[in-house]
Chains A and B, each alone.
Chain A
């Protein structure tokens, strides 16, 4: 009898759970969102506060649509977006790094947004290169809204203490200045040699492009001489001691920390870093990236709005993207520079700290090489730069190895 009582209790509890789960599912299905009235937007967490305000305005202007925001984070978004696009069950709008879009475009996972460009949003209103990064022969697959590139950030106090009047403008000055600043706990500069491969490779590419390499249709056209010149600076500086050996242990954020803690005197970083350094009370300056004999080149990159080909509400998604891409909204949401020139007039984009980055972006930058095949070469380039920094290979040998790998993967023009 006791056993029966337990059995009855077990069956009762199990039945209650099954009924509860079934009821929840039925309720969710019955009251679930209507895809034609809802737009799901994956937005990076640093954009959330302003994006929330913009969404409220959008919903007020478009009462037939409701926007559901889902936050993404910098360290997980690439995989999350890739998996969502591959799965065929993506959100309606995604904020994604422009340099990562070409892989998705090649897979046919994105909707062509060419028709969004016109009198209200002319292509000529975008910073040169911004649309190239998201365009191929068949169409334009994103609307860039934030565009930026790195430039030189330096510690004015450390420069003054070393008797150096201003930032270096050429490669020779860069090395000489860094050597002069390297003393005690302070080193001239540092590179992000741990962390995301593309961060280090982008710095290498900037120097290679300044030394004669070119970038076409997302593919860098390297040669051994330009590659060697870049490796001598990015890798050789660590081996020779004028860049911090802890470069091999730090990523982008940690390079910034080294700078804030006074362990390095200058580095190549984004304008977003400068705000944090000013908040920390640092006496910083910014300047164009040094080149062989004048301003150097940087690969600019940015963020854009994508609409997946499998979006459930493509019409609503386009309406949201059109709204977000208005010049005034673009200016509000960007933390660096807006991708539309007409949105960049505000004084806050041109103060003494931001102006060098803007000039670098507008006059001395190229679209990021983002062809999927080149992205596949990145780990090899990354590892080779580390090997040069460790003194395991010379810059010349490293350049030849990179060239061989690029030729193998991209063809002889790579």
Chain B
């Protein structure tokens, strides 16, 4: 050993390095319980599903699933459901937030509270209420439309395969739009009033202010909300299950419904196969979501 080396050994790490190491250990110790809980509740079930999905039974279930004439229909249903539910929630949520933010609106707190009701009530209750609202025999929706002369005979909102998915997506919008309103309302309050005033002084109209000032300013919130809505829509189950059970004739069956149907018949391999597809689709959007959140935090920090 050289003299310099011996000196370094005797001196040991600097106090700063020791403090940094201590902080790392403390950090690891503090996060360990959360990591263990996450491993128990999330990673283990996911690995279990993956394991079963790639087993012999799982591969056979994939074959049955892909070979089923209904599989393409389920994927199409999932896509339609997601697009309508997400776009609808974004449009309604943004419109409601802008309305609540308007200086012309009186009792904004009251209206905001009223609009939040669908968000507050349990999904099962809301879905049951809408099931009755859409009923051919007793439904209020048909009653109002008939009274208004917009339809000549009751529409089978939940029994007509051509409209059932759209009708249910409207219910999903009813449930989720209040959350968008809440997020966008918070973002709107962060826009400096002077910026809007300056645009108006420059002659910008309402549409121009919305397009060039407001929407760009809340762009990050809109993006995050959209991604969150996609993940929620892809995992949505209660509304469809309570209202139609995925019917009629599979017209409202989306991936989570397919998983539960397989669970009901005790087809564990099929559950894992469909869950894996669901997991892959959800992970794509979840990855985009995480990246967007990280970019947003970095942007805010800078």
Q: What residues make up the interface of A, taking CB atoms closer than 8 Å to B? A: 78-79, 82, 103, 185, 193-195, 197, 244-249, 258, 261, 263, 372, 375-376, 378-379, 382-384, 386-387, 389-390, 392
Contacts and interface: CB of A to CB of B under 8 A. Distances in A.
A248 B247 CA distance: 8
B248 A390 contact: yes
A249 B249 contact: no
Given A193-B248, A194-B244, A195-B245, A249 B159 contact: yes
Given A193-B248, A389-B248, A390-B248, A376 B159 contact: no
A378 B247 CA distance: 14
Given A194-B247, A383-B250, A246 B265 contact: no
B266 A248 contact: no
Given A194-B244, A390-B249, A248 B265 contact: no
Q: Which 6 A-B pairs have the closest CB atoms?
A: A248-B159, A386-B249, A387-B249, A246-B136, A386-B248, A376-B265
Nearest to B159: A248
A386 B266 contact: no
B266 A249 contact: no
Interface centre among B156, B248, B261, B264 (most CB of A within 10 A): B248
Given A82-B266, A194-B244, A258-B137, A246 B159 contact: yes
A245 B156 contact: yes
B161 interface: yes
Interface in B154-183: 156, 158-159, 161
Contacts of A386: 247-249
A248 B244 CA distance: 8
A246 B267 contact: no
B248 A246 contact: no
A383 B249 contact: yes
20 contacts: A79-B263, A103-B266, A194-B158, A244-B137, A245-B136, A245-B159, A246-B135, A246-B136, A246-B156, A249-B131, A249-B159, A261-B137, A263-B137, A379-B264, A379-B265, A382-B247, A383-B247, A386-B247, A386-B248, A390-B159
Nearest to A104: B266
Given A103-B266, A194-B247, A390 B161 contact: yes
B165 to A, nearest CB: 14
Contacts of B247: 193-194, 248, 382-383, 386
B261 A248 contact: no
B245 A249 contact: no
Contacts of B264: 78-79, 197, 379
A244 B159 CA distance: 11
B156 A376 contact: no
Contacts of B266: 82, 103, 372, 375-376
Given A194-B244, A379-B265, A390-B161, A246 B249 contact: no
Interface in B126-172: 131, 134-137, 156, 158-159, 161
Given A194-B247, A246-B156, 10 more contacts: A197-B264, A245-B159, A248-B159, A249-B135, A375-B265, A376-B267, A378-B265, A383-B70, A383-B249, A387-B248
B154 to A, nearest CB: 9
Nearest to B247: A386
A362 B96 CA distance: 62
Contacts of A384: 249
A79 B137 CA distance: 32
Contacts of B70: 383
Contacts of A248: 156, 158-159, 247-248
Interface in B247-276: 247-250, 261, 263-267
A246 B137 contact: yes
Nearest to B260: A79
Contacts of B265: 375-376, 378-379
Contacts of B159: 245-249, 390
Contacts of A194: 158, 244-245, 247-248
Interface string B33-62: 000000000000000000000000000000
A406 to B, nearest CB: 14
Interface in B223-256: 244-245, 247-250
Contacts of B135: 246, 249
A334 B267 CA distance: 33
Contacts of B134: 249
B156 A249 contact: yes
Interface centre among B249, B250, B264, B267 (most CB of A within 10 A): B249
Interface centre among A193, A194, A245 (most CB of B within 10 A): A194
A21 B16 CA distance: 40
B74 to A, nearest CB: 12
Contacts of B161: 390, 392
A389 B131 CA distance: 20
Contacts of A185: 137
B71 to A, nearest CB: 13
A382 B250 CA distance: 10
Contacts of A193: 247-248
Given A193-B247, A383-B247, A386-B249, A249 B136 contact: yes
Contacts of B244: 194, 249
Nearest to B253: A383
Contacts of A392: 161, 249
Interface centre among B158, B245, B247, B263 (most CB of A within 10 A): B247
A235 to B, nearest CB: 10
Contacts of A387: 248-249
A193 B137 CA distance: 15
